[in-house]
């Protein structure tokens, strides 16, 4: 990224940032810091090279869900700079998930940073942000977004919040300005409104928190945490049980009682499709990488447990198109 920590941090955030809560009366974290980042800091983030490297998000997500462009940057250095810059406005501690449980303490930013570009006709429909699990005791709890350009450069493209998945009423709407910082709880339904014209640029990632668990509780959590990390894209009956696949690139085999019998690895991207070829064979397919190459169609045979991956094919083909029928 070519950022120097000293120059970036010295000009990045306002001397006395003021938080404005977007959901008054709600216990969920959701606030804006207007003008948190200077125009110079935004320019240091949104370089010409970043703009040139955007690719369609259909490589990891179906287009009925989102169709904007993005660039993934893995950078411990930049994540550290950003955390140092915004730490003063972040909650140092979040409440426990259950009464009497351990609270969550601020730890770090996810080092996987995502630059997003929205052009006319692009959107990110209503959703919840997925939790990034670093371990049984470290996980993301909040999303942060930096708006890198001003709404004067585009129309549409508000960030909308909803009380639930199906509630038609908008709970809160925010029209961004360059340098604004948005922080909100993963449990809040939201969307990136369709852009009508111009281009909108955002940098986003997750804020990780940590909790301390006594050894018995930690062991219990590890035993329970057999579900997918992130969204589940497909579930199919298969053999005497069920198979599921999702964002974490894993296929899980479940028995009729809901116990996870097996995990199948091999895909590099989110698994978007499962198809039962016959009574004993399942086909799975991931999203596309940035070169338009499928991560591979994997065939799984399941005559008896355990299921066995049979073969792997790399496919080069045009991107898939998705539609809601």
Q: What pLDDT, in 10s, does the model give residues 96-119? A: 988 989 999 999 999 999 999 999
Q: Tell me the torsion sign for CA atoms 58, 194, 120, 112.
A: negative
pLDDT at 187 over 90: yes
Quote the pLDDT of residue 322. Answer: 32
Quote the pLDDT of residue 282. Answer: 79
Query: Residue 282 is encoded by which pair of tokens?
Result: 């399942």
Question: Residues 216-227, buried b or exposed e (16+ Cβ, 10 A)?
Answer: eeeeeeeeeeee
Give the C-alpha separation, 215 to 275, whole Å.
41
Q: Are 87 and 31 in contact (CB under 8 A)?
A: no
Say which DSSP state 60 is in: T
Residue 274 pLDDT class (50, 70, 90 cuts):
confident
Closest by CA to 204, choosing from 92, 103, 66, is 66
Residue 62 pLDDT class (50, 70, 90 cuts):
low
Quote the pLDDT of residue 246. Answer: 80
Give the C-alpha separation, 303 to 300, whole Å.
10
Q: Are 248 and 228 in contact (CB under 8 A)?
A: yes
Quote the pLDDT of residue 289. Answer: 41
Query: Residue 23 is encoded by which pair of tokens?
Result: 């959901």
Give the C-alpha separation, 85 to 87, whole Å.
6
Residue entry with tokens 């604004």 = 180
Residue 307 pLDDT class (50, 70, 90 cuts):
low
Query: Residue 125 is encoded by which pair of tokens?
Result: 């429909």
Tell me whether strands 124-127 and 112-119 are parallel, antiparallel or unpaired. Answer: unpaired
CA distances from 140 to 32, 105, 289 (A): 19, 11, 25
Residue 156 pLDDT class (50, 70, 90 cuts):
very high
One DSSP character per residue, 66-96 reads: B--EEEEEE-HHHHHHHHHHHGGGS-SEE--
The helix (run of H) or strand (run of E) holding residue 222 is helix 215-224
Work out the burial of residue 210: count CB atoms within 10 Å of its CB; fewer than 13 is exposed, 13-18 middle, 19 or more buried: middle
Non-local (6+) Cβ contacts of 45 within 8 A are 1, 3, 37, 115, 146, 148, 203
Task: Compute the average pLDDT of residues 191-200.
Answer: 96
Quote the pLDDT of residue 76. Answer: 95
pLDDT at 224 over 60: no
Quote the pLDDT of residue 56. Answer: 76
Quote the pLDDT of residue 16. Answer: 63
pLDDT tens per residue, range 63-94: 667 888 999 999 999 999 999 999 999 999 99
């Amino acid at each position: 990224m070519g950022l120097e920590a000293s120059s970036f941090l010295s000009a990045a955030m306002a001397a006395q940032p003021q938080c404005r809560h977007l959901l008054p009366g709600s216990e969920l974290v959701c606030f804006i810091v207007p003008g948190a980042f200077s125009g110079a800091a935004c320019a240091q983030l949104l370089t010409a090279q970043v703009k040139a490297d955007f690719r369609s998000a259909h490589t990891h997500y179906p287009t009925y869900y989102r169709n904007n462009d993005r660039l993934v940057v893995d950078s411990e250095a930049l994540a550290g700079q950003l955390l140092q810059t915004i730490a003063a406005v972040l909650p140092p501690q979040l409440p426990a998930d259950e009464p009497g449980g351990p609270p969550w303490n601020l730890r770090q930013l996810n080092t996987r940073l995502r630059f997003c570009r929205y052009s006319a006709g692009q959107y990110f429909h209503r959703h919840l942000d997925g939790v990034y699990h670093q371990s049984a005791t470290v996980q993301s709890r909040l999303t942060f977004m930096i708006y890198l350009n001003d709404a004067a450069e585009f129309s549409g493209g508000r960030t909308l919040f909803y009380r639930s998945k199906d509630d038609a009423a908008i709970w809160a709407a925010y029209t961004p300005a360059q340098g604004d910082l948005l922080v909100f709880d993963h449990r809040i339904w939201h969307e990136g409104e369709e852009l009508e014209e111009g281009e909108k640029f955002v940098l986003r990632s997750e804020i990780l928190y940590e909790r301390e668990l006594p050894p018995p509780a930690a062991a219990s959590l590890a035993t329970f945490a057999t579900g997918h990390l992130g969204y589940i894209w497909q579930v199919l009956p298969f053999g005497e049980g069920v198979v599921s696949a999702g964002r974490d690139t894993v296929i899980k085999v479940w028995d009729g009682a809901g116990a996870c019998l097996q995990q199948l690895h091999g895909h590099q991207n989110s698994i978007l499709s499962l198809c039962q070829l016959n009574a004993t064979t399942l086909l799975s397919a991931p999203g596309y990488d940035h070169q338009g190459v499928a991560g591979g169609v994997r065939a799984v045979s399941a005559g008896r447990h355990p299921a066995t991956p049979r073969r792997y094919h790399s496919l080069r083909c045009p991107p898939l198109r998705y539609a809601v029928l």
